[in-house]
Amino acid sequence: MAYKAVLRVEKIKTFGQLKAYLLHANRIKETPNANKNIRNIQLRGEENVVKIVDEFIKSRGIKITKGRNNQSVLCTEMVLTASKDFFRNKDGSINKELTEKWIYENNRWLIEKYGDNYLFAKVHLDETTPHISAIICATKYNKAYKREVLAHKAWFGKTIDKKKNININRLRDLQTEYAERMQECGFKLERGKERSNAKHKDIKDFYADLNKTKEKFLEERENSAIEINARNIIINKIADNYGIQEQVKRAYPKAREMAEKKLKDKNKNEELDL
């Protein structure tokens, strides 16, 4: 079966929108399609992404025009994921080693691609499909202003190369580059068809699809002690890699305790059946 590598972007134009993103990314606001027994991990930056973006913009001397005439894109949310079944074993359980490697390679690609402009990332394992939500602040040097400016369109938009007389779709090219990188890492992922008649789904559509499958998935896997434990093992391994194991333990003691208790009870019941 051919699995798809998925990369989507969404503009965040104001600090108000960024705050709403923070509430969702950090699960401060109720997220209907998320399982509270499975914890997520801070892959890059601190949880206060509003502060991070604000400090980054100020450090670069970037000026933001206030009011209705402001067309600037403050930063960009990028969601990286793949077909749901890519992350699973044949029995439907999550493939721990593959998922851990996928997270590591995606983070490495983001660092290589965007460097200091890659400000924040959260790994969400508590929803149907594992995915990374990253915040990137696109900038470029403006010769006329003699300073850096925000540059979402230059990084992710469509432009025309007048010298070569060709249209450039940077997002389309980025999606191709991303799929190729995933293949180089050994993942059996391919790019979706370019210029297909299929309706493009943005990040809002992505979360809507997750929500639609919530009830069925919770019944089958998400609420099982084995699934919870498997995903939490991934989190612990990644936490070790990034030196934040103690931070993870402090943040999620209740979730860990619940998962371990459920798994222990399940094992005891299986022993009784024998």
How far apart, in whole angstroms, are the C-alpha atoms of residue 115 and residue 99? 23
Instruction: Give me the number of domains the chain comprises.
Output: 1
pLDDT tens digits for range 184-238? 999 999 998 775 544 445 566 656 565 555 455 445 554 566 666 666 666 666 6
Do 158 and 169 meet the contact criterion of CB atoms below 8 Å apart? yes
Name the pTM for this structure. Answer: 0.74
Interval 63-85 mean pLDDT: 85
Q: What is the C-alpha to C-alpha distance for residues 208 and 127, in angstroms, rounded to an integer?
A: 12
Query: Where residue 257 sits, what CATH number does that domain have?
Result: 3.30.930.30
For 106-140, the pLDDT digits (tens) are 999 999 999 999 999 999 999 989 999 999 999 99
The Cα–Cα gap between 91 and 273 comes to: 22
Beta strand 189-190 with 3-12: parallel, antiparallel or unpaired? parallel
Q: Which long-range contacts (CB under 8 A, 24 or more apart) does 183-187 make?
A: 185/101, 185/105, 187/5, 187/82, 187/86, 187/98, 187/102, 187/105
Instruction: Collect all residues with Cβ–Cβ distance below 8 Å to 92 and sequence separation of at least 6.
Output: 220, 221
pLDDT for 192 equals 84
CA nearest neighbour of 123 among 112, 136, 133, 137: 133
Determine the pLDDT at residue 208: 59
DSSP string, 176-201: HHHHHHHHHTT--EEPPPTT-SSPPP
Name the residue range of residue 219's domain: 3-273
